[in-house]
Amino acid sequence: MKEFNPENIRNFALIGHGGSGKTVISENLLFAAGEINRIGKIEEGNTTSDYNQNEIERQISISSSPLHLEWNNTKINILDTPGFPDFIGQVIASLHVADLAVSVIKSAEGIEVGTEVTWDYVKKYELPSAIIINKIDNEHSAFFKTFDSVKERLSTDAVIVSFPYKEGINFDSIIDLIKMKLITYGETGSKKVSESDLPADAKEHAEKLREELIEKVAESDEELMNKFFEEGTLTEEQMVQGLKSAIIKRSLVPVFAFSASKSVGMNTFLDFVSKYFPAPTDKKPVEATFKDSDQKVELKCDPNGEPALLIFKSLSEQHVGELSIFKVYSGSIQPGIDLINTHRNKVERVGQLFILNGKNRKEVPKLSAGDIGAVVKLKDSHTGDTLTSKNLTVVLPAIEFPDAIIRSAIKPKAKGDEDKVSSGLHTVHEEDPTLDVKYDPELKQTIISGQGELQLSLATKLLKDRYNVEVDLVEPRIPYRETIKGVCQDAEYKHKKQSGGRGQYGHVHLKLEPLPRGSGFEFVDAIVGGVVPGRFIPAVEKGLKEVMEKGILTGSKVVDIRVTLFDGTYHTVDSDEVSFKIAASQAFKKGFLDAKPVILEPIYDLTVKIPEEFMGDVMGDISSRRGKILGMDSDGSFQIIKAKVPLAELYKYSTQLRSLTSGRGMHTRQFSHYEEVSKDIEAKIIEEYNKSKEEEE
């Protein structure tokens, strides 16, 4: 493939709800441009972008796929992203490097929850955008109704660029408002496209929509607005200039009519992309930060600048190793150059460079600013890392991945597989940073957390397929806390041991009292007259801290307690640190049980976004989980419920929510505080803890 200047590059991400047709669209675009010689089908598992085994088996996109094609002397990079909410991290990383987002919406179903969720990120990143209304060959297609809901719920700046001549199963032609022509597409796979004059029965409607398009273009620029008022229209040159400018300014969102399954709309769309979508040079320079200071620098998209790239995706492929997919923000990248990883302060030598179409790699001699490519076998560089020349050690803006909403504990089926599990899960995290894995020393479990149950189960499947390690996902233990509500004035314990030779002797009197929530632990030395020598006081405190770490009722940490050492005795020969440590821990256990002990559980803030019709079911479900509903807000046609729910009741909540809302509900959660559990729940927690202890023994 020839070299392209940044002005002749276009980068866009295909986003939207699962099943809207993103993968089929990208397949058809590649075919129309001659990058592939036949159109693959999802059902046959032979599409370019969904090529890994899990995607083929499940018939959904799991990973974003970088694709490229050439059209009108322009290189077009497409990032085909998953629509399933478990893989939202792939969408976020793609939008981070894209210059424009194209949201794909089904014509019959209209806007779905995945449309809204991904569109929220488009707004957050302030990205120029476009919309494809797809599946117009569906017998229930409602292009104009869907367009109205786009204007109402996504953007008032949406404006039609192409619309269907006739919708439904015989759909084969669109009216292009730029050319003011009827574009008719031949049989799927034939590449036949013909232009003709507008049919009489569509002319009036087309002229009205064309007028709306021209008005929208004119509105985006004062000079064009004046010309429009003077002339009543815009020249073709003014239209070209104004349309591109309006898209870049985000004051116009073009809407296209498509049928991916019938290959209708592809050429019109690609013509538009090459002519009107922003090039990387049309965007504001990216603000980077110098590695060792807070000083900012603007990086222009200049092929002659100092090289700087951001790795936005990593793939681990057998027989190849790790593939790092990146966008060049400045300069040019060639094999053999040395770059500095400014996150890890490591030097990386760039090996072979590739451009990708799914699993098909094409080697290239150079990649310039604005372009997207891949490099193999970087030693120590990962998703989110910046690589630059030694003359410009900056860090590019970080990709902000969402917090986890589901967690499970990992239990290897075979003993001794822990290291393999750890190494395998590290690779999984590299490929999808929203999947987090860490060992929790308090729970004594490896916890895997992410965006949904499917994401976690695919991670464990990868462990089996790639590393031959089998694991179970089990409910994680809950990090309960223990504390007291009462005061124990005198908890006494005398540790005395005599077994020939030197014995052990330690004797303490403790006072235990509760502290306000969140205060932690306070130790008070109130010894007078040296009844416990000063050299043994630290051992008393150490004994208390150790027993509090292990807990008394459920093996959970003890918190929010003040312990005062106010009396004791010692033996001049037999007393030592160990004796006082034991005496302190045993006295604490006695005093704790006498001071009205209680169990605290973690409470989380839960925010649920659902269509209005599911309000009753979802609120009922939250109440059944011991949740307290704090309030409700509306967001368009969606309702937002805010509640506080115990963590113990949130295991697999995302799965239940999807089930209750036909996959249309989303939620986020965040730790809020610890709260005392009721006596009946406390009894169950203690019973379960004792049972698990017996099983371990």
Q: What is the pLDDT of residue 377?
A: 81
How are beta strands 360-364 and 353-357 bridged, if at all? antiparallel
For the cut 70, the answer to whether the pLDDT of residue 684 exceeds it is yes
When comparing pLDDT for 603 and 464, which is higher? 603
Q: Is the pLDDT of residue 695 over 80?
A: no
Task: State the pLDDT confidence band at 14, using cuts at 50, 70 and 90.
Answer: very high
Whether residue 186 has pLDDT greater than 80: yes
In this prediction, residue 220 carries a pLDDT of 80
CATH of domain 286-292+299-395: 2.40.30.10
pLDDT reported for residue 385: 95
- Residue 512 CA: distances (Å) to CA of 27, 587, 589: 70, 10, 10
Q: Which residue has the tokens 């009722």?
A: 553
Whether the predicted pLDDT of 226 surpasses 70: yes
| DSSP tag of 333 | E
- Report how far residue 384's alpha carbon sits from residue 401's, in angstroms, rounded to the nearest whole number: 10
Residue 231 confidence (pLDDT) above 80: no
Residue 218 has phi, psi (to 5 degrees) of -60, -40
Pairwise CA distance, residues 567 & 532, whole Å: 7
500 or 270, greater pLDDT: 270
Chain mean pLDDT for the chain: 92
pTM: 0.88
CB atoms within 10 A of CB 635: 11
- Note the pLDDT of residue 318: 65
The single residue listed with the structure tokens 């509500």 is 485
CB atoms within 10 A of CB 60: 19
Compute the average pLDDT of residues 312-339.
Answer: 89
CATH number listed for the domain at residues 600-681:
3.30.70.240
Determine the pLDDT at residue 466: 81
176's tokens: 């292009």
pLDDT tier at 2, thresholds 50, 70, 90: confident
SS (H, E, C) 30-69: HHHCCCCCCCCCCCCCCCCCCCCHHHHHHCCCCCCEEEEE
Say how many Å lie between the first and final Cα of the chain, rounded.
Answer: 65
Q: Where exactly are the structural domains of the chain?
A: 6-197+250-282, 286-292+299-395, 406-474, 482-595, 600-681
User: pLDDT per residue over 504-557, tens digit each?
Assistant: 999 999 999 999 999 999 999 999 999 999 999 999 999 999 999 999 999 999
Q: Which helix (H) or strand (E) holds 90?
A: helix 88-97
Grade residue 478 by pLDDT with cuts at 50, 70 and 90: very high
Residue 591 pLDDT level (bands cut at 50, 70, 90): very high
Lowest-pLDDT range, 103-117, 424-438, 444-458, 500-514?
Answer: 424-438
Beta partners for residue 125, in sequence order: none
If DSSP states are collapsed to H, E and C, what string results for 621-690? HHHHCCCEEEEEEEECCEEEEEEEEEHHHCCCHHHHHHHHCCCCCEEEEEEEEEEECCHHHHHHHHHHHH
pLDDT of residue 444: 87
CB 130 within 8 A of CB 256: yes
pLDDT of 65 reads: 93
- How sure is the predictor about 582, in pLDDT bands with cuts at 50, 70 and 90? very high
Q: Average pLDDT in the 420-443 region? A: 86
Domains 406-474 and 482-595 belong to one CATH topology = no
- The pLDDT of residue 233: 75
**Residue-level pLDDT at 1:** 58
pLDDT of residue 465: 83
Residue 294, amino acid: D
Residues 555-561 have a mean pLDDT of 95
Confidence class of residue 123 from pLDDT cuts 50, 70 and 90? Answer: very high
Task: Select from 3.40.190.10, 3.40.50.720, 3.40.1590.10, 3.40.50.300 the CATH code of 6-197+250-282.
Answer: 3.40.50.300
What DSSP designation does 384 have?
T
Average pLDDT over residues 118-141: 96
pLDDT of 628-668, one tens digit each? 999 999 877 789 999 999 999 999 898 899 899 988 888 98
Amino acid at 246: A
* pLDDT score at 320: 61
Residue 262 has pLDDT above 90, yes or no: yes
Split at pLDDT 50, 70, 90, the class of 228 is confident
The CATH code that applies to domain 482-595 is 3.30.230.10
- The pLDDT, as a whole number, for residue 355 is 95
Residue 10 has pLDDT above 80, yes or no: yes
Q: Which CATH architecture has domain 406-474?
A: 2-Layer Sandwich (3.30)
